[in-house]
Amino acid sequence: MDTKLLKITSSKDTEQIKTAAEILKSGGIVAIPTETVYGLAANAYNTKAIQRIFAAKGRPQDNPLIVHIAEKDTLYELAVDIPETAFALADRFWPGPLTIILKKSQKLPDSVTAGLGTVAIRLPSNEVARAIIKMCGFPLAAPSANLSGRPSPTSAEHVIMDLYGKIDAIVLSDNSEVGVESTVITLASDRPRLLRPGAVTPEDLRQILPDLQIDPAVFAEPEPGVKVQSPGMKYKHYSPKAKIVLVEGNSPDFIRFVNSKKGPGVYALCFSDDAQFLEVPYVIYGKTADEKEQASHLFSALRELDSKSAKIAYAHAPKKDGIGLAVYNRLIRAAAFEVVRL
């Protein structure tokens, strides 16, 4: 299939924005930039287009999509029984990297929500994303624009690697600033619950939701047989071809441990301060204690391990507070929950 490449770096690139919207209006699927990661978008009201997203990504049918909107009022089209706290969260964190799960309206097709009675909604801050949604005049369902199981794409090049020839168009825009996917919370359960950590942190959310719970799947592998609240949490995710082992410990201990593992195909996925003492090849994903930088480089670092011939990579675990919790959550999945505590 012929994939169009559309260069759109600002909301003023009107001609190309129109082209992207035309493709979406006619049932096409288009990769668009957002501030978190690139998304693979389709008209949320067009079931055929939604099914094409699942096919292009190889996505399991039971994993629902996030619906992206450009105006807060669109909430009324997509959701019912909206609690006051949803509006408080929207006023505080939208536009931005927060996804809110609410009871679904009848209008939205079941294909988007994988048959669940709830819908995940987000209003992105990326101006190109919002301009495209506005030009369409309908909300866009969009999962991350990677092949299922691969690290999420934080640049147009990552999308090209995974989906060129499989989708109608790819918007060429800036790299995603945040670098990890949005924070996902549900307001459709008895108590508000964090399902996926992101740049909007538990500390931020507790200003509006003092009784916020953190789903156990954020930190650890769901127990067999336990129903996970967010279907995406049960998959081994973000996996590069190399085996990843997450290593928790300070810098000297990490360096000693990794050097003791030296051998063919052995890599470190480390902080810049670890690098000079390592006796194995390495990929750096940020400075020590700069969790924001670690988040923005994590997925490209995982892809870089693939482009080298890494067989196993020992990853230095981040601190678990602030956005570090999101980095830890992605890494522990990349590592299929294999953690070494030093």
| Residues 252, 23: Cα–Cα separation, whole Å | 53
Q: How far is the CB of 312 from ligand TXA (least distance, A)?
A: 26
Q: Residue 218 or 255: which CB sits closer to ligand TXA?
A: 218
Which listed option, Mg ion, ligand TXA, none, makes contact with residue 119 (CB within 5 to 8 Å by class)? ligand TXA
Report the interface residues with ligand TXA, using CB under 6 A: 34, 36-37, 39, 63-66, 97, 99, 101, 113, 116, 118-120, 122, 142-144, 181-182, 184, 195-196, 229-233
3-state SS, residue 306 = helix
Which listed option, Mg ion, ligand TXA, none, makes contact with residue 63 (CB within 5 to 8 Å by class)? ligand TXA
Q: How far is the CB of 334 from Mg ion (least distance, A)?
A: 13
Q: How far is the CB of 300 from Mg ion (least distance, A)?
A: 15
Q: Residue 204 or 248: which CB sits closer to ligand TXA?
A: 204
Give the CB-nearest residue to ligand TXA. 232
Which listed option, ligand TXA, Mg ion, none, makes contact with residue 116 (CB within 5 to 8 Å by class)? ligand TXA
Which listed option, ligand TXA, Mg ion, none, makes contact with residue 37 (CB within 5 to 8 Å by class)? ligand TXA
Which listed option, ligand TXA, Mg ion, none, makes contact with residue 99 (CB within 5 to 8 Å by class)? ligand TXA
Task: Give yes or no for a contact between 153 and 100, defined as CB atoms under 8 angstroms apart.
Answer: no
Half-sphere exposure of 16 (CA within 13 A, CB side): 19
Cα separation of the two ends of the chain: 49
Q: How far is the CB of 30 from ligand TXA (least distance, A)?
A: 12
Q: Which amino acid is located at 32 in the chain?
A: I
> How many CB atoms sit inside 10 A of residue 274's CB?
19
Give the CB-nearest residue to Mg ion. 144
Q: Residue 140 or 255: which CB sits closer to ligand TXA?
A: 140
Task: Give yes or no for a contact between 216 and 262, defined as CB atoms under 8 angstroms apart.
Answer: no
Report the interface residues with Mg ion, using CB under 5 A: 144
Question: Rounded to 5 degrees, what are φ and ψ at 244?
Answer: -110, 135
Q: Which amino acid is located at 157 in the chain?
A: E
Q: Residue 97 or 318: which CB sits closer to ligand TXA?
A: 97
Residues 6+ apart with CB under 8 A from 84: none
Q: How far is the CB of 229 from ligand TXA (least distance, A)?
A: 6
Q: How far is the CB of 70 from Mg ion (least distance, A)?
A: 21
Among 262, 264, 261, 300, residue whose Cα is nearest residue 284: 300
Which listed option, Mg ion, ligand TXA, none, makes contact with residue 239 (CB within 5 to 8 Å by class)? none
Residues 6+ apart with CB under 8 A from 252: none
| Residues 102, 249: Cα–Cα separation, whole Å | 39
| Residues 257, 333: Cα–Cα separation, whole Å | 21
Which listed option, Mg ion, ligand TXA, none, makes contact with residue 39 (CB within 5 to 8 Å by class)? ligand TXA
Task: Give yes or no for a contact between 45 and 88, defined as CB atoms under 8 angstroms apart.
Answer: no
